[in-house]
Amino acid sequence: MNFLLVLPILFPFLCALYLFFREVEEKYRNRVVFFCVLFNFLLVLLNVFYFKNSFFHVIRINSFFDIALKVDLFGLVFSFLVSTLWIFAAVYAMGYYSHEKNIHTFFVFFCATLGAVIGLSFSGNLFTLFLFYELLTFVTFPLFTLTHTKEAFRSGYKYLTYSISGTTASLIGILLIFNKVGSLDFIPGGILSDIAPHDYSYYLLAYGLTFLGFGVKAGLVPFHSWLPSAMIAPTPVSALLDAVAVVKSGIFALTRITYFVFGPVAIMAFNGNTFALIFILITIVAGSFLALHQKNLKKRLAYSTISQLGYIMLGLVVFTPNSFVGGMLHMIFHAVIKITLFFCVGAIMHVTRKTSLDEIAGIGKQLPKLMWCFSLCSISLIGIPPTAGYVSKWYLATGSLQYGNVFVPIVLLLSALLTTGYLFPIISTAFFMPLPEKKPHVHSLDKRMLIPIIVLTATVITIGFLPNPLIEVLTRISNLVM
């Protein structure tokens, strides 16, 4: 029965093909997409609860070309997160694109991306991961170029160039590992056994290449420029890709290679984590600092994503149990919070056609529910206790102090101050500035856009107050890999 693992991956692709070949009208299409996403969610649940720790080879040619699917605790967490957020994104996209023509491509590739990401999370070895990673690039490219304008093509081209260069680098890294080890399976704790000291530079090269390669998708500075350019795309795309699908897949891949291929012990031996830490610290500070300069709201959130991804990657390379839990917690919290923030900004753009910080003065009085949700999520991201962002920061900071480095919490707190600096002006302009004399015309807000925002905000507050079940699951994973 293990072949059922393929279903959650294949089903969305089938739906995508169906939508691609049959031009359907809007209501029917919405129903198809919603059914696809919901059913896929149930399939994922089925797989993770009934087929725990099962393993399935799709095709096996030799020890390198081996497409294998496996569900372990970490893949479970990620696929669950992604499937849930996809449902919300589907509802939001349906509301955003109601009464709009020629938006077929979006929903086709929306479903296809879901399949690619689930495939990524169910990968059983590095080769399958790499395959789905490349597939993800190609499947998300049409979403970038959705509007068919010159800037859209330019941003899509940029994204493609960055991604493919990244995957080339990681491919070289993968080949280097395969050369020495002979297998690419994911084993918690790493597949590298004792490394001889004279091989350190070899493994450092391999790790460095794979890290930078997968880091491109994960928004590692200096390879992050595709993220702000991607904000040209409409909001359902940016919300999905830059909060959940693409960037978190990059993080997922990074976690897999750090903990399941190389292993903490080996990486510390050849100082791979110091190499990664330099890039990560620059990412954290550069992301939040550059966000201060952006007037366009979506670009601001894009740079904010870069900075927050730095937090998550920090949790990964510091190699203490607390920091791993903190990093993974932040991955979950950030995904939910960021997607809500993007939804809010997109809703503002949809109803008022305003994109920039100086244009939204006083909009809190016209769209109170929306801006309240935005404020609550921003406060959570800034990390004021007792919200969700504070819990993950606490774990990250205590973990990095255990590691012995005092510099890291200082960077974290500096970035928290900068986060306040770029999120707070949005809230204060929306609520505390007076409306301009010529009041902007506000179309009515579609319920399908508002409901996901409110539900997700409620989720953020709840998991901020009661994070313990999540912490327990993540501690179990961290015990496995360290």
Binding site for other proteins (CB under 8 A): 151, 154, 158, 221-225, 229, 282, 285-286, 289-290, 292-295, 379, 384-386, 391, 394, 397-398, 401-402, 406, 409-410, 413-414, 416-417, 420-421, 424, 428, 432-434, 464-465, 467-468
**DSSP structure string for 214-258:** HHHHTT-TTS-THHHHGGGS-HHHHHIIIIIIHHHHHHHHHHIII
| Phi and psi, residue 403, nearest 5° | -65, -20
Least distance from C-beta 209 to other proteins, angstroms? 17
Q: What's the maximum distance between 2 C-alpha atoms anywhere in the chain?
A: 72
Q: Do 137 and 167 contact (CB within 8 A), yes or no? A: yes
Least distance from C-beta 468 to other proteins, angstroms? 7
Question: Cβ neighbours of residue 441 under 8 Å, at least 6 residues apart?
Answer: 352
Alpha-carbon gap, residue 2 to 13, rounded angstroms: 19
Least distance from C-beta 385 to other proteins, angstroms? 4
Q: Do 190 and 266 contact (CB within 8 A), yes or no? A: yes
**In the numeric block, which tokens belong to residue 284?**
């954290």
Least distance from C-beta 407 to other proteins, angstroms? 11
Least distance from C-beta 160 to other proteins, angstroms? 13
Q: Toward other proteins, which CB reaches closer, 105 or 225? A: 225
Q: Toward other proteins, which CB reaches closer, 143 or 306? A: 306
Handedness of CA 78, 80, 86, 91 (dihedral sign): negative
| Phi and psi, residue 69, nearest 5° | -115, 140
Q: Toward other proteins, which CB reaches closer, 95 or 467? A: 467
| Phi and psi, residue 185, nearest 5° | -70, 160
Query: In the block, which residue shows the tokens 């102090």?
Result: 401
Q: Toward other proteins, which CB reaches closer, 233 or 481? A: 233
Least distance from C-beta 360 to other proteins, angstroms? 16
Q: Toward other proteins, which CB reaches closer, 8 or 389? A: 389
| Phi and psi, residue 56, nearest 5° | -145, 125
Q: Toward other proteins, which CB reaches closer, 188 or 421? A: 421
Least distance from C-beta 405 to other proteins, angstroms? 11
Q: Toward other proteins, which CB reaches closer, 29 or 300? A: 300
